[in-house]
Structure 1
């Protein structure tokens, strides 16, 4: 299964999201709270999925797309309507556990197929 990273400014929220994914059988490689940590974690795998809020402590997550590797897919957790600049998949709070797990599972499958094509 692909590399799944949960990034959220609130460590408790990140851990809760990670626990939901793990209980659904989706292994989570790491949990982090800053963009710098996320960038470092992404260096360990060629592809994967990032589940994150729209902002992390150093920068808005939307800006991170310009800075991060294109072989990672993003699932944003948002409050209310997603920002217009966001073209990636989003889930609106409050989260439905089943929907969260299904979305991440689908993105992992897409990421793995893309990653296998890169080999």
Structure 2
């Protein structure tokens, strides 16, 4: 589960929101009063959500949005009149005074969004370097010449060797090159 960073100009507000979230099962980092503290905590985490007010002691929420890690989402808790930049960015807004159920449901929605994004990133194939692609192509050419295979058949052969041996695709291609060279 992603970690939540709470940043408000008054430490009492930050502690109150942290306590509420912890009671509802969320993992929350120590509360912050400055944007620099929130960014520092977020830099040490893989992903999560930053909940903040409109103005912190050292920066506005727009500055915090610019400097936060890309893997973090921002939840602005402020009056509706201060939401001017939210519609242009992917900043989620919650109206002040915030109701507990509204905050929890908004956080749940944001967590689901991050989970979908993580799953989508995991599904996409890893990009190979030019050197790795050259090794694979060389192995396929050798298989095509020596065993009279088509390109898809050579690819499937290397893939099967990779799966059977537990090695990566590139390592299996290197083994084919070692055998036939």
Give the TM-score taking structure 2 as reference length.
0.60
CA-based RMSD of the aligned residues comes to 1.7
**Larger relative contact order (C-alpha < 8 A, sep ≥ 6)?**
1
1:71: which partner in 2? 71
Instruction: Please identify, of 56-65 and 74-83, the stretch whose mean Cα deviation from structure 2 is larger.
Output: 74-83
Consecutive unaligned residues of structure 2, counting only runs of 5 or more, are 123-181
| 1:38-80 CA distance string (max 9 Å, x none) | 1110111121101110111111111222222221111110024
CA contact (8 A) 1:50 1:72 kept: yes
User: 1:4: how far off?
Assistant: 0.6
Q: 5+ residue gaps in structure 1?
A: none
* Contact residue 78 and residue 93 of structure 1 kept, 8 A: yes
Mapped to 1, the partners of 2:38 and 2:77 lie a distance apart of 16
Aligned-pair CA distance for 1:118: 4.6
Summarize the alignment of residues 87-106 of structure 1 with structure 2, pairs less than 5 Å apart.
Answer: 87=87, 88-106=91-109
SS in structure 2 at match of 1:6: strand
| Aligned match of 1:27 | 27
Larger Rg: 2
Q: Quick one: distance in 2 between partners of 1:93 and 1:56?
A: 16
More helix by share: 2
2:114 paired with 1:108: no
Normalised by the size of structure 1, how large is the TM-score?
0.88
Shift of 1:36: 1.1
- 3-state SS, counterpart of residue 106 of structure 2: helix
Partners of 1:29 and 1:92 lie apart in 2 by 23
Aligned residues: 119
Higher strand share: 1
